[in-house]
Structure 1
Amino acid sequence: MLTPEKTALVLLAAGKSERFADGDKLTEEYLGHPLAFHVVTALENIPFLARIAVVSDTTLDFAARGFQVVENPDPSQGQARSVRYGVQAAEQAGAQAVLIALADMPRVTIAHCYRLFEASDNGATLVASSDGVQPMPPALIGRDHFAELCSLEGDAGARTLILRGHHVITRPEELVDIDTREDLEELRGREAAAAIRAARRRSD
């Protein structure tokens, strides 16, 4: 089984937010913090060998959260380019695997990521998350696949690779991916409704 101590967390945070209409979605406030920092906080107690944030012209201080910051100078080349930069940095750190996560998935949990490790084997590991319909990040990928990850092109990122792997199913709400402002408003609305229900239960 792979372990966090030999794995690099690669956080992809260089998207152009084209579908978000205006502004940088990763800096948008969600539950009192920038959207991108929720996955950072959720995974901060996992003892990764290294933490790498692939960014592009951001105001967010990932370095202050313990990340090596790698700049993607041209995110228009697609997510695969960010994956490449992240994996190359992980190789330089001596990682035997990468856990690839997206900065716009604020509901990812530490418990689920440990389930990915539990489903791993060795350097040939390909383990992705799934909502029961399709595989997606976070994904744990062993070093046997680093060369293929670095050869990918376009905006599919590692999607074609993780389709071949083992998929760990979790609740769809843990894998919410914020692409549009409507996505964020819907998530905020669900959180507000959940808070109201919890308050009512406490008062009953």
Structure 2
Amino acid sequence: MIAAEDVVLVLLAAGKSERFGIPNKLEADFLGKPIGFHVVTALEGMPFKDRLVVTDGCQLDFASRGYTVVHNDDPDAGMSRSVKLGVRHAQQAGAAAVLIALADMPRLTTAHIYRLLDAADSDDAVVASSDGEKPSPPVVFGRAQFNFLLTLDGDAGARELVKAGRHVVTSPAELIDIDTPEDLAALQALVHDPSTAITRAVRRR
């Protein structure tokens, strides 16, 4: 396992929110709190070595929640640009691993993140989340993978590396990410009515 104290959390919060239809989806309300602050709240008790958020203009005050804020000045370059900014910070901090998480996944839990870290058993570890069918963020990368991550381009990025890594299965509901108003409405229905089928919320995948 890799201890949280040796891990830099990199929260990806850069993107145009084009499919959502407002300036920034992370600022939209979900259960009385901005979407982007749910994961912040969920993980605030974990003793990470450092917390970094990569953003390109979101108005949420991540700094007040203990995050170093890094601006992605070229979000059109794809997610890999944000990943590289975060990994470079983790490398400079001497981290044993980096945890890449998405700010638009409001149902993540501390328990699942600890399971990812428990499964990371070496410097070259790659441990991804899974809904039982395919891997997804959050993902833990050991420090031996940092140099490779810094070579990535575009949105595909570390996709093949993640596919070949270890996968920790959790509830599909925990891994729902919000890309459209329909996604948010489906999640709200799921939360307010626990009998709602999870598959309906994730069918778009």
| TM-score, shorter chain, exceeding 0.5 | yes
Please give the range of the TM-score, normalised by the shorter of the 2 chains: over 0.9
Q: Which residue of 2 aligns with 1:128?
A: 128
Paired residues of 1:26 and 1:35 also in contact (CA < 8 A): yes
Post-superposition, which runs of at least 4 consecutive aligned residues in structure 1 deviate over 4 A? none
Query: How far apart, CA to CA, are the structure 2 residues paired with 1:102 and 1:137?
Result: 7
Q: Which residue of 2 aligns with 1:194?
A: 194
Paired residues of 2:16 and 2:23 also in contact (CA < 8 A): no
- Alignment deviations for residues 83-112 of structure 1 (CA, whole Å, 9 cap, x no partner): 000111111111110010000001111000
Report which of the two structures shows the higher radius of gyration computed on alpha carbons.
Answer: 1
Q: Which residue of 2 aligns with 1:201?
A: none
Query: How far apart, CA to CA, are the structure 2 residues paired with 1:81 and 1:114?
Result: 26
- Alignment deviations for residues 55-99 of structure 1 (CA, whole Å, 9 cap, x no partner): 001111110000011100010110000000011111111111001
Query: How far apart, CA to CA, are the structure 1 residues paired with 2:180 and 2:157?
Result: 19
Q: Which residue of 2 aligns with 1:111?
A: 111
Q: Which moved more, 1:17-26 or 1:180-189?
A: 17-26
How many residues in Structure 1 have an aligned counterpart in Structure 2? 195
Paired residues of 1:83 and 1:158 also in contact (CA < 8 A): no
Percent identical residues: 55
Structure 2 unmatched runs, 5+: 196-205
Query: How far apart, CA to CA, are the structure 1 residues paired with 2:84 and 2:110?
Result: 24
RMSD: 1.2
- Alignment deviations for residues 16-70 of structure 1 (CA, whole Å, 9 cap, x no partner): 1121123311000001111011011111111000000000011111100000111
TM-score by length of 2: 0.92
Give the 3-state SS of the residue equivalent to 2:101 in structure 1: strand
Distance apart, 1:155 and its partner CA: 1.2
Query: How far apart, CA to CA, are the structure 2 residues paired with 1:159 and 1:45?
Result: 29
